[in-house]
Structure 1
Amino acid sequence: MKIERSMHNDIPLADLFEMICTLAYQERKCLDAGALSHEVSVTRTHDGAVVKAKRKMPTVGFPALLRKFVPSGVTSTETVTWGPPDADGARSADLHVHFHGTPASMNGTIRMVAEGAGSSVIVDAEFKAHVPLIAGKVEKIAAPIILGVIDAEDATAEAWARGVR
């Protein structure tokens, strides 16, 4: 199932990248998304970064079909590999999310571009549930939950830019 989200904020592009590469920001985004536990790492490369976030999310409120696969919480490891800036400062990243103990994964790209005095972040990914006969149903149920986590991360970025930490 296609997972797409475009988010605009007032954070200048270079500042947005630096924020994303901050351990404290990565920890805050996990907490703000409701993680029960988390581990984060940021590894700067010559002209990019690899950001990893492993988090356990609660499944309270999940539909029964999803709770069958993750009754006590879902643990995911998100790996975002940022490349170098292009001529106008925009950056692209490969996105990979592994959902531990489940037959599901998400892969795609994230693009960060300047927009006016601020910037936009565009997520373009594919969530796949590899479950015979019910994959489509699982994907339709999970998509809004995934989008909710993305929206929570966007709200964290906005708050962080205002100095709320």
Structure 2
Amino acid sequence: MDLRAEINYPTDDPAVAYSLVVDPVFRGEVCEATQALDYDVAVEEHHDGGATVTVNRVMSADVADAVKRFIGETVEIVQTEEWGAPDVSGQRTADLRIKIVGQPATMNGTLQLTLTGGSVTSLISGEVKVAVPFFGKKIEPEIAKAILGAIRQEQRCATKWLGG
């Protein structure tokens, strides 16, 4: 299932938006805003100016009962972002991977921090996949809904942090 969304950062400087997405304190606040039961944020900066951001969180399975029977009462989600170095305008791209631990559910895609119309936008695109014959396509919208909910919380936190 195709998933597209965006987060608008109230800044005209891609470096400011990037510093937020690699800030473990900010990412922890986003985890708290998503009501994570437990979480860990790790940021590994690379010599080329990029970074790996790994967010591991345990969430209540806030999904339809049919899906909950499949995944359980809680889910452990590992989100990994492999950020590259900035281009000449300061914009960046990351490979995005989201995995529900112990389940055949993933999202693979990209994040692009771009300057658009005086603010920085993170363009999120990817493919949500649940590899379960006959049933996976019915679960994918529930997984996408949860991912979009987390994106909305990150938008709220970014607006609060950057004063927009």
Q: Shorter-chain TM-score category?
A: over 0.9
Residue by residue over 1:98-120, the C-alpha shift from the partner in whole angstroms, topping out at 9 and shown as x without a partner, is 10111111100000011243201
Deviation at 1:59, TM superposition (A): 1.6
Match of 2:3 in 1: 3
| Alignment: residue pair count | 162
Q: How does 1:1-165 map to 2 (within 5 A)?
A: 1-11=1-11, 12-46=13-47, 47-60=49-62, 62-162=63-163
Task: State the alpha-carbon separation in 2 of the partners of residues 83 and 77 from structure 1.
Answer: 19
Deviations 1:124-162 (A, max 9, x none): 011100011111111123222211111111111111112
Q: Give the secondary-structure state (helix, strand or coil) at the position aligned to 1:81.
A: strand
Offset of residue 7 of structure 1: 2.7
Is the Cα–Cα contact under 8 Å of residues 9 and 162 in structure 2 kept in the other structure? no
5+ long unaligned stretches in structure 1? none
Instruction: Tell me, in whole angstroms, the C-alpha distance in 2 between the residues paired with 1:82 and 1:147.
Output: 21
TM-score under structure 2 length normalisation? 0.93
TM-score (norm 1): 0.92
Deviates more, 1:92-101 or 1:144-153: 144-153
Q: Aligned letter for 2:6?
A: S
Task: Compute the RMSD of aligned alpha carbons.
Answer: 1.4
**Which structure 2 residue ranges, 5 or more long, are not aligned?**
none
Q: CA deviation at 1:19?
A: 1.3
1:69 is paired with a residue whose SS is helix
Q: Work out the CA distance in 1 between the residues paired with 2:155 and 2:149.
A: 10
